[in-house]
Amino acid sequence: AADAAGAADDAGEADSADLVCEPCDTMATAAFHFKRFVSEATSLSQSEVAPGSTCTIPVRSRRFEDGMRLQIFQINDEKLPCEVVAAIKGDVEGRSDVAVRIHSECFTGDVLRSAKCDCGLQLEKFFSVMEQEPAAILLYIRGHEGRGIGLAAKFDAYRLQTEEHLDTVDSNVRLGFDPDLRSYNAIAQVFQKLGVTSVRLFSNNKEKLRAVRTVLPARYAPLRTVALATNREYLRTKEERMDHLTTTAEEHGREEDRREEEIEVPQRASRIEWPRFGNYAGFHIVLVATAWNKECTSQMVQGCEDVLIEAKCAVTIVEVPGALDLVTGCNAAIRKESPPNAVVALGTYVRGDTDTSQMHYQATITALQQLNVSSAVPVISGVVFCNSQEDALKRSTSTLGGEWAKNALQMISMSSQ
């Protein structure tokens, strides 16, 4: 039966044949996915995407030098009308491989920072992605609250989840709704109207990827977050019953879910053995990184963050102007009322015509070492000195950033013994 279902899926969606769907655990869930497939197959002809008002706003980040352009799109869908707010960084028209996200509104997660879901965490993480990209698009979908049931019904579903221990699928069904009322085919057309030619979709939702691929080339970029004790079952339900790609760290071994969709990262043997001291979950690591030479630093930050998230650590990224400011940033992090478990300083120095850059590098390393010795919080020096900008680009890799993360975990282990 699973083979037949897979064949039918291949026939209907050739572009996404390499997305393998897990078998549904109940007939109700199977019926839901079939009904969604039939409904979305005709949604393009039944929906209208109408562009509306636009403006530009300043953003509290120096990486949005020209601000953020906003534009409203009305989706006149017979089943679930909604309003799309396109938040745009840079010039996206005619650009390929644009970093994008389709984000359903979640008042509790996005505004109140609820730990019951991972919506707010995903939104924050994609905003960090936008900061690193020259051009990016966030589609914020108003009208998708509670997978389309609305805020009041979502509160009722939350009560059922607490009082009767139902998951998010069964609580919606108990209230008389489908498990998920949302559709993304018409929403995906917004990317076309903005003029992009291909996208990199940051999501764990296969339905979003399939929808985007109906209108333009798209590849999958994982957007994983730390699984919290309060949202672990929520994440598991999304994977097992809503056909989402892997979101929890303990399931990262299921490579068949990602296959060719995931962005490939060159693999290299680790120079530092993975620290094996037990459970890494719950550690809070602060990454202090330089805004200067960000084409190098951002790679190390990404590698460091990936390793820590895989280890189920909470990660905070703090940006300082230059490498000389790393010591001040690290000192501020460890002096907080609730200090992190470790701090990692990430930056690069490039040799100039004089010895000044080397002197600054030595001063920074010495100060970070002194901070590490004098503080109860381990301070990891992830600062590299390079002979040229080309050398810096070669050395400042995500793999190296991952090694600094492993170093931090190892030092936490030693300091806790």
Using CA atoms, how far residue 202 sits from 98, 123, 223, 310, in Å, is 10, 10, 6, 17
Q: Which residues pair with 100 in a beta bridge?
A: 137, 201
Among residues 95, 182, 200, 213, the one annotated as catalytic is: 182
Q: Where are the domains of the chain?
A: 48-144+182-242, 284-416
Does residue 69 have an active-site annotation? no
| Same fold across 48-144+182-242 and 284-416 | yes
Place of tokens 């089943």: 79
Answer yes or no: are the C-beta atoms of 402 and 303 closer than 8 Å: yes
What's residue 301's pLDDT? Answer: 92
Does residue 219 have an active-site annotation? no
Among 384, 248, 305, 263, residue whose Cα is nearest residue 131:
305
- In CATH, what class is 284-416? alpha beta
What's residue 147's pLDDT? Answer: 95
Answer yes or no: are the C-beta atoms of 216 and 199 closer than 8 Å: yes
Q: pLDDT tens digits for the chain (417 residues)? A: 444 334 333 333 334 334 443 444 444 444 444 444 444 444 444 458 999 999 999 988 778 889 999 999 999 888 889 999 999 999 999 999 999 999 999 999 999 989 899 998 889 888 888 988 999 999 999 999 999 999 999 999 999 999 999 999 999 999 999 999 999 999 999 999 999 999 999 999 999 999 999 999 999 888 877 677 888 899 999 989 998 886 554 444 444 334 334 433 333 334 444 454 456 778 899 999 999 888 888 889 988 998 898 888 889 999 999 888 999 999 999 998 889 999 999 999 998 877 888 899 999 999 999 999 899 899 999 999 998 888 888 888 888 999 999 999 988 877 765
Q: What is the residue-wise DSSP string for 263-325?
A: PP------SSPPP-SS--TT-EEEEEEESTTHHHHHHHHHHHHHHHHHTT-EEEEEEESSGGG
Please provide residue 235's backbone torsions phi and psi, each rounded to the nearest 5 degrees: -65, -40
What's residue 264's pLDDT? Answer: 37
| 3 state SS of 120 | helix
- H-helix segments, 133-184: 151-163, 168-174
CATH superfamily membership of 48-144+182-242: GTP cyclohydrolase II (3.40.50.10990)
Amino acid at 71: Q
Determine the Cα–Cα distance for residues 193 and 283; give it in Å rounded to an integer: 43
Using CA atoms, how far residue 143 sits from 37, 180, 187, 212, 362, in Å, is 21, 13, 12, 19, 54
Please provide residue 353's backbone torsions phi and psi, each rounded to the nearest 5 degrees: -75, -20
Using CA atoms, how far residue 207 sits from 40, 185, 308, 344, in Å, is 10, 9, 28, 37
Among 287, 5, 28, residue whose Cα is nearest residue 179:
28
Using CA atoms, how far residue 183 sits from 14, 36, 156, 297, 310, in Å, is 19, 8, 22, 38, 30
Determine the Cα–Cα distance for residues 230 and 321; give it in Å rounded to an integer: 36
What's residue 22's pLDDT? Answer: 40
Among residues 170, 180, 306, 325, the one annotated as catalytic is: 180
